[in-house]
């Protein structure tokens, strides 16, 4: 092996000597462009004007024939729109859609996925959070399939922020902690700090103010050491919010006022306005309504309806002030504005506060019945929010467990990514020497293949990251085995029937080899959809392996289970495959077993189902057999 690498170094040396002067100039521009891309991706640029300047420089450095870097430039442009400026979100969405219509973009899946993620984020800024969440879910699945850690971190960070804002703290913390771990692994400290900020904010929303303030102070210290005083001030404001929610109103007021004066002294009107909204909420709780109104008057010209977070609370605070001053019609109007904004982003926490204010407003008007209905809705929303507010211990333990598991997979992904980067660097440096490129590419692909082969067994151990299979959205192996064990024990105690159906796709390896893994994934999704349409939600269906599935049928005897299995086999073979490539077809084989008096363990029942499945395979497939 040392001799082989020595030979490669010698070949590289003479290859570089043979490059032309124009080649050197082209390579120099490419290296400058890559350095700028790295800077843009680092998250260290805070001013949009600086970002735009670098985009202009990239235009002059990147050749039109350099497809990869042109696509990367398009991605950078997509993220360059300022969502805080009026009309920019619509322009960003139009740009993203046009970029996604680029011919042959499917050949560059990483670029395509980043553009889709960009589109999803601006969709969220537009207010369509349901569509954004759906897009984030798909982006995460695709990023894992591509083994692109940066896109996994970005997508999970964005989804985690949205979950946390909506009150789904468990899902939010799982995503944010995972994103934070990935950013640290990728040596992206700016994005790591951003995710840490969102983690602290999630703990604040969860009600664990002590943990939130601890994380915020850690961040503030980091920003002060790096002389990033703007960010340090923003963290001070976040600490103020936590102190307010903790009940330390005077402490919160002092911190808010310091943050407000800092932004004012630096002529940062938008940031000053956001703090003004926050401090108004604290002043209202202290009964200082006139001063709160003054702050809101200062903030209103800068807080646009597109910024739902501050816009919604600005009008909620307005309503509270109008209510205190007896200006009831104006209070109703402000409540309507606030409700519209809270509804757009599905902010359960904000809607809960709003219902209480509305109940107090109706009560003051003497509208007892409407006050009762508003209070009743407040109780319902508050109970729903309480359900989502899991204990900090349970949430933190669960998220830490999942992150520990994911970190093992991340290490494998990082190593693969590093190998791919080495390969691309070698190809770029020696593109005029085709025979060297072929040699290096072959060596690298062999290394990647050997490494992937050794790691495949480890990857299978990471399947229990959650209770739901990411691809099919069916329960996974861990869940179904726990459920099956419970059903097995209940059936033994009550002497009631219990059946299982084990089935898998016939010749699934050939499907992947012939049509590719993407088509194979769609085939598994079709199998899952077919099961959902046929099997009642009373029973459990899960994906337990690559193309292997298991159905647990409580209170179903063997003849009934066999009939269900035959129907499933028939339904799969009769599916409409028109959306798949020409020549695609898929069948399944199934094995049925029913609990007998000789079964002392669940494994015996499952073993008989597997034996029946293998019998169906050996007899020609596309059929069901009973044990």
**pLDDT tens per residue across span 101-112:** 988 888 899 999
Give the residue with greater pLDDT, 574 vs 394.
Answer: 574
**pLDDT mean over 39-51:** 77
- Write out 47-99 in H/E/C secondary structure: CHHHHHHHHHHHHHHCCCCCHHHHHHHHHHHHCCCCCCCCCHHHHHHHHHHHH
| Phi, psi (deg, nearest 5) at residue 347 | -85, 95
pLDDT band at 446 (very low <50, low <70, confident <90, very high): confident
What residues form DSSP beta bridges with 588? 505
**547 labelled catalytic:** yes
Average pLDDT over residues 96-100: 92
Structure confidence at residue 14 as a pLDDT band (50, 70, 90)? very low
Is pLDDT of 472 > 70?
A: yes
Q: Reduced to 3 states, what is the DSSP secondary structure of residue 598?
A: coil
Instruction: State how far the Cα of 2 lies from the Cα of 6, in Å rounded to an integer.
Output: 6
Q: At residue 454, does pLDDT exceed 90?
A: no
Angle at the Cα of 293 (from 292 to 294), degrees rounded to 5?
A: 90
Could you report the per-residue pLDDT of 394-435, keeping only the tens digit for each?
Answer: 444 444 445 455 555 556 666 666 666 666 566 556 555 665
Give the per-residue pLDDT at 19. Answer: 44
2 has a pLDDT exceeding 70: no
Q: Which of 16-30, 470-484, 500-514 comes out lowest in average pLDDT? A: 16-30
Out of 525, 547, 548, 563, pick the active-site residue.
547
Residue 464, pLDDT score: 46
- Tell me the average pLDDT across 76-83: 89
Average pLDDT, the chain: 83
If one compares 446 and 18, the residue with the highest pLDDT of the two is 446
Dmax of the chain from CA atoms?
Answer: 91
Angle at CA of residue 460, ends 455 and 465, nearest 5°: 120
Burial track 51-64 (b if 16+ CB lie within 10 A, e otherwise)? beebeeebeebbee
Give the pLDDT band (50/70/90) at residue 244: confident
Contact 626, 592 (CB under 8 A): yes
Cα–Cα distance for residue pair 463/544, rounded to 1 Å: 9
d(Cα 546, Cα 512) in Å, to the nearest integer?
Answer: 11
Whether the predicted pLDDT of 285 surpasses 80: yes
How does residue 13 score in pLDDT terms, banded at 50, 70 and 90? very low
Question: Is 251 exposed, middle or buried (CB count within 10 Å of its CB: 0-12, 13-18, 19+)?
Answer: middle
- Calculate ∠ Cα 573-576-579, nearest 5°: 130
pLDDT digits (tens, 9 = 90+) for 316-360: 999 999 989 999 999 899 989 988 888 887 888 888 888 888 888
- Which residue in 415, 407, 613 sits closest to 501, CA to CA? 613
The pLDDT value given to residue 594: 95
> Is residue 464 a contact partner of residue 531, using CB atoms and an 8 Å limit?
no
Whether 6 shows a pLDDT value over 90: the answer reads: no
Least confident of 371-380, 432-441, 463-472: 432-441
The residue ranking higher by pLDDT, 222 or 499, is 499
pLDDT tens for residues 588-606?
999 999 999 888 899 999 9
Instruction: Report the pLDDT averaged over residues 89-99.
Output: 92
According to the model, what pLDDT value does residue 440 have? 65
For residue 522, pLDDT over 50 is answered with yes
User: By mean pLDDT, which of 211-225, 237-251, 268-282, 381-395 is the weakest?
Assistant: 381-395
Amino acid 458: pLDDT: 60
- pLDDT of 110-136, one tens digit each? 999 999 999 999 998 888 889 999 999
| Tens-digit pLDDT profile for residues 148-200 | 889 999 999 999 988 888 878 778 888 888 888 888 888 888 888 888 888 88
Task: Give the model's pLDDT for residue 185.
Answer: 86
How buried is residue 456: exposed, middle or buried, by Cβ count under 10 Å (0-12/13-18/19+)? exposed
């Amino acid at each position: 092996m040392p001799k082989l690498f020595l030979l490669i170094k010698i070949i590289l040396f003479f290859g570089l000597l043979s490059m032309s002067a124009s080649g050197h100039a082209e390579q120099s521009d490419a290296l400058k462009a890559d350095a700028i891309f790295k800077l843009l991706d680092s998250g260290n640029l805070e001013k949009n004007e600086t970002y735009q300047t670098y985009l202009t420089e990239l235009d002059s450095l990147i050749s039109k024939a350099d497809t990869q870097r042109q696509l990367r430039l398009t991605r950078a442009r997509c993220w360059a729109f300022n969502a805080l400026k009026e009309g920019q979100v619509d322009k960003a969405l139009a740009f993203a859609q046009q970029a996604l219509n680029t011919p042959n973009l499917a050949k560059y899946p990483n670029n395509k996925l980043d553009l889709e993620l960009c589109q999803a984020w601006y969709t969220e800024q537009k207010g369509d959070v349901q569509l954004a969440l759906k897009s984030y879910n798909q982006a995460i699945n695709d990023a894992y399939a591509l083994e692109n850690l940066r896109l996994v971190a970005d997508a999970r960070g964005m989804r985690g922020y949205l979950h946390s804002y909506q009150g789904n703290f468990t899902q939010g913390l799982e995503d944010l902690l995972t994103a934070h771990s990935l950013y640290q692994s990728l040596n992206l400290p700016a994005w790591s700090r951003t995710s840490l900020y969102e983690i602290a904010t999630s703990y604040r929303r969860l009600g664990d103010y002590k943990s939130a303030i601890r994380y915020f102070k850690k961040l503030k210290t980091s920003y002060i050491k790096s002389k990033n005083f703007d960010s340090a001030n923003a963290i001070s404001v976040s600490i103020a919010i936590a102190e307010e929610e903790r009940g330390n109103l005077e402490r919160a007021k002092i911190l808010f006022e310091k943050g407000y004066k800092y932004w004012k002294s630096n002529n940062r009107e938008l940031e000053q306005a956001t703090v003004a909204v926050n401090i108004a909420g604290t002043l209202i709780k202290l009964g200082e309504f006139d001063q709160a109104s003054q702050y809101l008057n200062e903030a209103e010209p800068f807080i646009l309806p597109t910024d739902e977070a501050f816009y919604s609370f600005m009008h909620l605070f307005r309503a509270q002030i109008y209510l205190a001053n007896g200006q009831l019609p104006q209070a109703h109007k402000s409540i309507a504005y606030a409700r519209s904004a809270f509804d757009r982003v599905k902010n359960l926490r904000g809607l809960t506060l709003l219902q209480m204010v509305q109940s107090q407003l109706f009560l003051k008007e003497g509208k007892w019945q409407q006050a009762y209905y508003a209070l009743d809705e407040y109780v319902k929303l508050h109970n729903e929010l309480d359900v989502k507010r899991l204990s900090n211990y349970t949430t933190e333990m669960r998220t830490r467990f999942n992150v520990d598991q994911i970190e093992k997979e991340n290490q494998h992904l990082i190593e693969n990514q590093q190998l791919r980067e080495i390969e691309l660097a070698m190809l770029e440096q020696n593109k005029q020497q085709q025979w060297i490129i072929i040699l290096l590419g072959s060596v690298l692909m062999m290394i990647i293949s050997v490494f992937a082969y050794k790691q495949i067994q480890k990857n299978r151990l990471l399947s229990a990251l959650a209770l739901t299979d990411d691809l099919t959205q069916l329960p996974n192996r861990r869940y179904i085995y726990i459920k099956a064990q419970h059903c097995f024990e209940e059936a033994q105690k009550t002497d009631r029937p219990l059946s299982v159906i084990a089935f898998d796709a016939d010749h699934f390896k050939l499907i992947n080899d012939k049509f590719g893994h993407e088509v194979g994934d769609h085939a598994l999704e079709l199998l899952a959809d077919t099961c959902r349409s046929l099997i009642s939600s009373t029973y459990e269906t899960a994906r337990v392996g690559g193309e292997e599935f298991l159905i647990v049928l409580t209170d179903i005897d063997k003849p009934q289970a066999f009939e269900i299995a035959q129907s499933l086999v028939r339904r799969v073979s009769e599916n409409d495959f028109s959306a798949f490539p020409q020549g695609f077809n898929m069948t399944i084989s199934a094995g049925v077993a029913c609990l007998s008096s000789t079964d002392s363990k669940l494994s015996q029942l499952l073993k008989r189902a597997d034996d029946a499945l293998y019998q169906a395979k050996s007899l020609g497939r596309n059929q069901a057999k009973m044990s």
